[in-house]
């Protein structure tokens, strides 16, 4: 396989993900504009297909690939094995047995280019977020799988934590993302981009789906109108807060509004929150829950948001509880809304523990 040092720039110019470097160089080097457009259309279709599955719990267990590492979950040793094998690091996959989002990731891992790239650059080990096996993290601390998952805030599955050769966390990808964005995350770590820029910045240079676009956001009567004074530092809010960060011409945003947000069960839950909508690229002024005066764009940059729609959940005191910044359908959204309203986080109960108690 041939790699061209200037190919990333060419891919960015065409608005196509740098992960197409996985395609043999001579083919890419001779691509016409029409063929580049076809590649971009393929990526867009992958993003849209990510929203076209039922997220009800599975009836059969998720099966992970047989090339995942079989280990004693001593991550320091697993990382040493990866280094000896010439890999760029270790991926810890946090999953659960009947998770439809995990199954979607497993399907992506069957794609030859993704499978080859992962196997060539990483070792992968599996952690069950409800499991009781002992995990030793790269710093030598021991805990159960579920305790380790809670400590790493791996509440939404799948979660992938990438460790570099020195055992430092290089990147974390929470929830399910389409195949093209998963490819981007893999290259972001394997090619050391994480050392010089945020994932948001990296995607902005290469991802046609993360660029400013003209147009209106999806309207909804659940959103409060401006001005947006979300300051909760002096006086707590009467209800928890959700901030929807969206953008125009966003398929995932369209699906959120035409699908889950039209369901009565979701609307009834949303009615119990203070809810606003901001454009991720917008210049709308906002006072954040911790009292800062920023524009929507500045706040989204501060938060390093790289996915739309992203839903940020804050408690009555203005502390961020969690965020949904990945593909999320009815059951996931409903579960998170119920968790936040339960107040369990105030008692130190993580989403995964709350889910176990409410099965």
**C-alpha torsion angle, residues 175, 180, 182, 188 (rounded to 10):** -130
pTM of the model: 0.86
Name the pairing type of β-strands 122-128 and 89-95: parallel
**Can you give the residue ranges of every domain in the chain?**
75-176, 228-357
pLDDT value of position 204? 85
Which stretches of the chain score pLDDT less than 70? 1-52, 206-214
In this prediction, residue 53 carries a pLDDT of 75
Cross-strand bridge partners of residue 127:
94
End-to-end CA distance of the chain: 48
Choose the CATH number for 228-357 among 3.40.50.10860, 3.40.190.80, 3.40.50.1820, 3.40.30.10.
Answer: 3.40.30.10
The CATH class for the domain spanning 75-176 reads alpha beta
Sign of CA dihedral 160, 161, 163, 167: negative
Q: What is the pLDDT of residue 82?
A: 98
């Amino acid at each position: 396989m041939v790699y061209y040092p200037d190919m990333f720039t060419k891919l960015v110019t065409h608005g196509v993900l740098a992960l197409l470097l996985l395609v043999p160089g001579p083919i890419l080097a001779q691509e016409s504009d029409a063929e580049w457009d076809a590649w971009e259309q393929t990526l867009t279709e992958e993003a849209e297909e990510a929203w076209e599955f039922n997220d009800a719990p599975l009836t059969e267990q998720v099966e992970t690939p047989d090339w995942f590492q079989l280990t004693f979950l001593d991550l320091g040793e697993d990382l040493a094995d990866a280094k000896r094998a010439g890999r760029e690091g270790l991926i810890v996959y946090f999953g659960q047995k009947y998770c439809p989002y995990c199954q979607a990731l497993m399907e992506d891992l069957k794609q030859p280019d993704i499978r080859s790239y992962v196997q060539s650059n990483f070792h992968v080990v599996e952690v069950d977020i409800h499991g009781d096996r002992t995990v030793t993290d790269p710093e030598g601390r021991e805990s159960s799988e579920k305790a380790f998952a809670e400590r790493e805030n791996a509440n939404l599955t799948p979660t992938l934590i990438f460790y570099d050769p020195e055992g430092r966390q290089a990147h974390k990808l929470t929830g399910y993302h389409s195949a093209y964005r998963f490819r981007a995350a893999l290259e972001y770590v394997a090619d050391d981009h994480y050392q010089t820029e945020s994932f948001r910045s990296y995607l902005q240079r290469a991802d046609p789906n993360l660029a400013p676009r003209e147009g209106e956001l999806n309207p909804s009567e659940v959103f409060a109108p401006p001005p947006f004074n979300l300051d909760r530092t002096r006086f707590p809010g009467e209800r928890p807060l959700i901030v929807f960060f969206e953008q125009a011409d966003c398929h995932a945003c369209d699906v959120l509004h035409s699908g889950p947000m039209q369901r009565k069960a979701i609307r009834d839950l949303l009615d119990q929150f203070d809810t606003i909508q901001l454009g991720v690229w917008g210049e709308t002024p906002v006072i954040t829950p911790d009292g800062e005066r920023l524009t929507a764009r500045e706040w989204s940059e501060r938060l390093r948001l790289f996915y739309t729609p992203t839903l940020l959940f804050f408690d009555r005191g203005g502390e961020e509880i969690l965020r949904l910044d990945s593909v999320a359908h009815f059951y996931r959204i409903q579960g998170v809304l119920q968790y936040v309203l339960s107040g369990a986080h105030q008692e130190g109960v993580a989403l995964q523990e709350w889910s176990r108690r409410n099965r």
